[in-house]
A and B are shown apart, each in its own frame.
Chain A
Amino acid sequence: MSHPVLKDAPGASVCMLGNHAIVRGALEAGLQFFSCYPGTPSSEVGDLLAQISKPAGVLFEYSINEKVAVEVAFAASLTGARSMCSMKHLGLNYAGDPISTMPYVGVEGGMVVVSAGDPSAITSPNEQDQRHFSRFLYYPVFDPATPADAYRMTRYAFEFSEKTRLPVIMRPTTRVCHTSGMVEYGPLSETRNEIRFTKNPPRYVPIPVNARRMRRELIDRFALAEELLGRSDFFPRHGSGTMGVIGSGVGYAYASEILNELGLFDRVSLLQIGAYPIPETILSEFLASVESVLVVEELTPYVEEIVSLNAFRHGRSIPVYGKNSGHFPVEFEYDPDMVEDAIRKFLQLEPRTVVEVALPELPPRPPVLCSGCPHRTSFYLARKVFGKNTVYVNDIGCYTLGYGEPLHSCDVLLCMGSSISQASGIARTTGKRTVAYIGDSTFFHSGLPPLANAVQANDDITVVILNNYITAMTGFQPSFSAWDSQYPDSSNNGQKDRGIVLLDAVKGLGVKEVFSVDPFDEAQTLDAFKKAKSGKGVNVVICNSPCAVHRVRVEPDGNRAPYIIDQDKCNACSLCVRVLGCPGIVVEDGVYFIDASMCDGCDLCAYVCNRDAIHQVEVREHA
């Protein structure tokens, strides 16, 4: 049975995830090429396309990083293909170089860059407002409030991109990406753009003489974008009052529902800002009809400042409230209560009645490395050798969970691929060997240049590559270290064994001292770490062991027998819990035991135990 997103059923009402609604919109627009690097909250866009790209006739790739994803998709667009790529907000920063000049050169086939935002930094090291790319680099930016918006905006965006020759940014936030809402299907596109590359170097080569011409054209094309958006239906207006509320993104959804529930649409006019640049006329007409404005938008006072500027230019001396006035905080996500409070304050209504509920103190459930995770073993063994005074620089991935108690394996962190370069900087100034931890996917993403850089500088660093053969934290996308059979039909064109051997890659960059070990072979791994510690210059220890969660899913005999603590031998010394932080080991009333349903059957706790009290449950083979 084909996937519901491929259903050719115009008029069908479907409840879909915001990220999937983007895919449907793109399919209806005749998507031909797609590339991505996964990152929460964007990952489901690529994961769905990975499943359906073949029947949908879309060329698909999980790219090595976002810069490459943008570049291949842009080049595909130059051949006429309607192309899309997706990533999280930080991924677009990584692609900052190509995206800066793409609007200059311009597209042929329509191109949509999905860059999902993460207000409140729920799964990111920062929160940032992608809408600034509109004025910063001349991108039309779409700002959906709902999955239905995400769908219709994406469907519209390709043709719009072709008319203006501008690549566009689709910026959903977590509350749109991960919300399922009603989408009414339109027809799937029956035609596809013709693929043809016509040589025209002055058009495609932004050397300075051409770039200056392109710069002038860009201003005209951006003005056209504003004009076209002015005729779109992404700026709906509701209500008839003279108090103005302007909302963007999920802030609009909250405001709309609250105004509706409180029955305020006779006092209030609500304007949705669904895209940027905001058409000047839409805004000035709205401002001419209201006496006061409240702007509801997350992250930065972006619309708020445009509104103030527009009012000033048109001689409208009306108050503009929002972040600057203290109606909303500058930082973090909004929620319905926050928006209701601001609306009540704006309209001088009674404050919301709040029934205070006494919350008992509840234990948190912080994310931890899974039981059986090979990273835990690597961290534990490396720390045994390098000790507590060595600086451990970590990177972006599950292994960031080496932070804090009890593994203490993350003293410094910044961004994708930064572990190696930061270790270089620390080792060079302190004169002390520094350890960098980086996963396989992140290493290929952005770890290759800093490793070559460290080799060139002969830095005293030990790079530990935690190779679990998968991009685990974002949802088990394939990694370049094992481009195996997970998505054989789409991402891999059916080929197997295309993985890059990490050992060869590292040696190819000039690293002389490389160890490739299985972290669950503790003796071999300890030996490698010891040699690395006493080495000179750059050395690399590659710890190869499949992700525990993924292994159980894909290997038919992936389930291993659990371990058990022999209560006669256990003296409750607490060592296993104190140094490992494995969620499978539980203490109740001072008694240590292993939760068999959680235990993955790795042997690390048995290895750590001084009393030989931990053993694997014997599995009797059926005769």
Chain B
Amino acid sequence: MHDNPKNGDFLLRILLAGTGGQGVITAARLLSEYFVRKGDQVLSAQLHGMAQRGGAVQSTVCVNSGISPALPRGGADVVLGCEPVEAARALPYVSADTIVFVNTAPIVPFVLSQNYVLESGPSEYPGLHALEKSLRAATLRVFPLDATKIAQDAGSLKTLNVVMLGCLFGSGVVPYPSQDFIDTIMVLAPPNLAETNTAAFKMGVEFAESLNVVEQVS
């Protein structure tokens, strides 16, 4: 059980970041189940505590990696940032090799409005350019997209998490065909959302494929 990954097995450490309600934990669960069905060893950590609606959420999915539930600094191969600030919050786990997909649609923390009124702290949401710049300082492989709009185009804001998963598959780092994952969605996601989820996933895949991420990486 504590064995090293078998020879030839790929190793992939994914960090999903977002806010409570964006489906980060659900996405981690879908991914985990997918890789388990593929015969891989999966370790996935939920980092939720007091986080509730609107709180910061981080979840990891580590495939064939070992038994440590936490990532070391710079330990993420891929970051799926469902929200700009939350992607930046994942920076300690980003190295020069990390691929970062970041949704450019902000969810402005309520605390900023309160700070504005009470004059009790910063009240401005950080500039998107500044956030992207800080990510790019850590890795050149930063790929921004308006995943919120893509999800809406697919038919539901709730598929934002699946758009981000599409990016993961479209990037080429998963050594299995992306169609496989659609089968997982069909089995595990609510049936009434199956079609929308599939569309959202494909749009995410298409976006990432158009970037030739792996070519840029190698």
Contacts and interface: CB of A to CB of B under 8 A. Distances in A.
A406 B66 contact: no
A614 to B, nearest CB: 15
B88 A362 contact: yes
Contact of B66 (A13, A260, A337): A260
A355 interface: yes
A564 B116 CA distance: 20
A359 B88 contact: yes
A361 B50 CA distance: 21
Given A15-B36, A179-B45, A337-B73, A362 B118 contact: no
B69 A357 contact: no
Task: Determine which residue in B95, B114, B131, B134 has the highest number of CB atoms from chain A within 10 A of its CB, and name it.
Answer: B114
B140 interface: no
A574 B68 CA distance: 48
B117 A363 contact: no
Interface in A573-595: 574, 577-578, 581, 583, 585-588
Interface residues of B, number: 62
Nearest to A145: B67
A363 B53 contact: no
Contacts of A578: 117-118
A605 B145 CA distance: 36
B45 A180 contact: yes
Interface in B111-156: 111-114, 116-118, 120, 122, 125-126, 130-131, 134, 137-138
B51 interface: yes
Nearest to A178: B46
A406 B126 contact: no
Interface string A118-145: 0000110000000000000000000001
A15 B32 contact: yes
Given A260-B4, A585-B113, A336 B54 contact: no
B41 interface: yes
Contacts of A258: 68
A: interface residue count bin: 35 or more
Contact of B33 (A15, A256, A337, A598): A15
Nearest to B1: A148
Contact of B108 (A15, A122, A176, A586): A586
B1 A184 contact: yes
B11 to A, nearest CB: 11
B212 to A, nearest CB: 26
B1 A359 contact: no
B157 to A, nearest CB: 9
Nearest to B47: A178
Best-buried of A14, A253, A257 by chain B (most CB within 10 Å): A257
A363 B111 CA distance: 8
Nearest to B68: A257
Contact of B126 (A146, A178, A361, A588): A361
A577 B112 CA distance: 11
Given A181-B42, A257-B66, A365 B109 contact: yes
A363 B122 contact: yes
B44 interface: yes
Top-3 shortest CB links A-B: A583-B110, A179-B69, A257-B68
Interface of A: 13-15, 17, 40, 122-123, 145-146, 148, 174-176, 178-182, 184, 236, 238, 250, 253-254, 256-258, 260-261, 335-337, 340, 354-355, 357-368, 370, 405-406, 549, 574, 577-578, 581, 583, 585-588, 598
30 contacts: A14-B36, A15-B32, A15-B42, A123-B49, A145-B67, A175-B45, A176-B69, A178-B48, A180-B42, A181-B44, A182-B36, A182-B41, A182-B42, A250-B68, A253-B69, A258-B68, A260-B4, A336-B71, A355-B74, A355-B138, A358-B137, A360-B134, A362-B89, A366-B111, A405-B114, A405-B118, A405-B120, A577-B113, A586-B113, A588-B113
